[in-house]
Amino acid sequence: MTTDGTVSQVPTVMHVRCPDRLPEETYRQVLEQLAELSPVVQALPPMAALVELKGALRYHGPDTRRLGEVLRVRTLSRLGVDVRVGIGSSITVAATASAQLPQPGGVLAIAPEKAADWLGALPVDALHGIGPRQAEVLADYGIRSVGLLAAVPPATVQRLLGGRAGRTAADRARGIDPRPVVPRALPAAATVRHAFPRHTLDGAPVRAALLDLVVRLGLLLRRRDQAARALTLTLTFAGNSSWTRTRRLTEPSAHDDDLRTLAYQLMDAAGLQRGRLTALALKGEDLIGADQVAQQISLDDARENRLVAEAAVDRVRDKFGPRIIGPAAVFRRAS
């Protein structure tokens, strides 16, 4: 990290491969886990996705390999799905890296300064974007490694593979791939979870945990420029039984005030007495883009002040991390 706090020489693209024949609903849930790491997720159905990590580094630190490991732990523990994660300075490097990992899962991060040497040692058909037919043509001319492909003049590669395909192959063999990760098909839901270290009865600890989920969900939605039309609360009890209810918000929102009010209503509807809780999950559902939410003039000065404060708190979190500030009840529970 440089002296001005910016991240340099860090691979910033993640390519994720899910298991073959993954059900569509489970694939959507994997996308949801990716969106918790970064707001810039590009779905590549039916079983892959790209993630732009530049913004995520501000929250999670510059260790991109650790981000890949965090993702694997989350998908395994929450969904029972292992993934292969490639991380590099471009889509080509990241996607090539993820393909080199054996199933069921793993993480391979390629540092930018090592990308050319790492790519050069691979067989030419391992380069992301090179199809079997192209690899066969190159092999006929003795070009069997990415390093050899990078050494051949681009004009020659164009004659062998055709104009556009040749230019693309020559560039990618040299690690040149300026394509950005384009946000596409963000999941229509966002879920945050809390597991209690021991069986817990309803009371202050449960309310504090629920408030923490509200804050985390609101921050996640605002980072993704989305708003929820509905909330679903799931309570898990000792013995693995559960209770789930969904209610719609009066207006789509990503603001803590609105989410907290409805989340508390859902908790009250559970009518807990002596139930021993082991976990909570709060899901924002039927999500829409924040730009689709109608902006209404409000005469409620107190609410407007809270929204201004919320925006200021978000800026603090952007600078210092998402857990640096929050409701006192949440911090008392964590201490």
Following DSSP, what letter does each residue of 111-153 receive, concatenated? Answer: -GGGHHHHHHTSBGGGSTT--HHHHHHHHHTT--BHHHHHHS-
Number of other residues whose CB lies within 10 A of the CB of residue 19: 16
Q: Identify the residue with better confidence: 4 or 288.
A: 288
Q: What is the pLDDT of residues 206-225, one digit of tens each?
A: 889 999 999 999 998 998 88
Q: What is the pLDDT of residues 14-39, one digit of tens each?
A: 999 999 888 888 998 999 899 888 88
Alpha-carbon Rg for the chain in angstroms? 23
The pLDDT mean for the chain works out to 86
Q: What is the pLDDT of residues 60-80, one digit of tens each?
A: 777 889 999 999 999 999 999
C-alpha to C-alpha distances, 288 to 189, 221, 230, 257, 311, nearest whole angstrom: 9, 10, 11, 18, 20
Q: Identify the residue with better confidence: 307 or 169.
A: 169
Token pair in block for residue 245: 């209810």
- Place 197 in a pLDDT band, splitting at 50, 70 and 90: confident
Q: Identify the residue with better confidence: 98 or 163.
A: 98
Residues in Cβ contact with 141 at an 8 Å cutoff, skipping those fewer than 6 apart: 160
**How, if at all, do strands 84-88 and 106-109 pair?**
parallel
pLDDT above 50: residue 124: yes
Q: For helices 204-223 and 301-320, give the axis angle rounded to 10 degrees.
A: 80
- What pLDDT is recorded for position 50? 95
C-alpha to C-alpha distances, 327 to 215, 250, 257, 312, 334, nearest whole angstrom: 8, 24, 12, 14, 11
- Place 300 in a pLDDT band, splitting at 50, 70 and 90: low
Residues in Cβ contact with 21 at an 8 Å cutoff, skipping those fewer than 6 apart: none
Average pLDDT over residues 262-268: 93
- What pLDDT is recorded for position 2? 38
User: Would you say 97 and 109 are in contact if contact means Cβ atoms under 8 Å apart?
Assistant: yes
pLDDT above 80: residue 84: yes
User: Would you say 279 and 195 are in contact if contact means Cβ atoms under 8 Å apart?
Assistant: yes
Residues in Cβ contact with 122 at an 8 Å cutoff, skipping those fewer than 6 apart: 96, 100, 145, 146
pLDDT above 50: residue 6: no
* Distance of alpha carbon 222 from alpha carbon 219, whole angstroms: 5
Record the pTM: 0.61
User: Would you say 124 and 146 are in contact if contact means Cβ atoms under 8 Å apart?
Assistant: yes
Q: Is the peptide bond before 180 cis (omega within 30 degrees of 0)?
A: no
**How, if at all, do strands 84-88 and 13-17 pair?**
antiparallel
pLDDT above 80: residue 96: yes
Bridge partner residues of 14 (DSSP): 51, 87
Hey, is 326 helix, strand or coil? Answer: coil
Q: Is the peptide bond before 11 cis (omega within 30 degrees of 0)?
A: no
pLDDT above 90: residue 299: no
Which range among 150-159, 198-207, 237-246 shows the weakest confidence by mean pLDDT? 198-207
C-alpha to C-alpha distances, 270 to 69, 195, 209, 213, 244, nearest whole angstrom: 36, 18, 16, 17, 9
- Place 1 in a pLDDT band, splitting at 50, 70 and 90: very low
Residues in Cβ contact with 67 at an 8 Å cutoff, skipping those fewer than 6 apart: 14, 37, 53, 56, 60, 87
User: Would you say 109 and 66 are in contact if contact means Cβ atoms under 8 Å apart?
Assistant: no
User: Would you say 174 and 93 are in contact if contact means Cβ atoms under 8 Å apart?
Assistant: no
The single residue listed with the structure tokens 């946000």 is 183
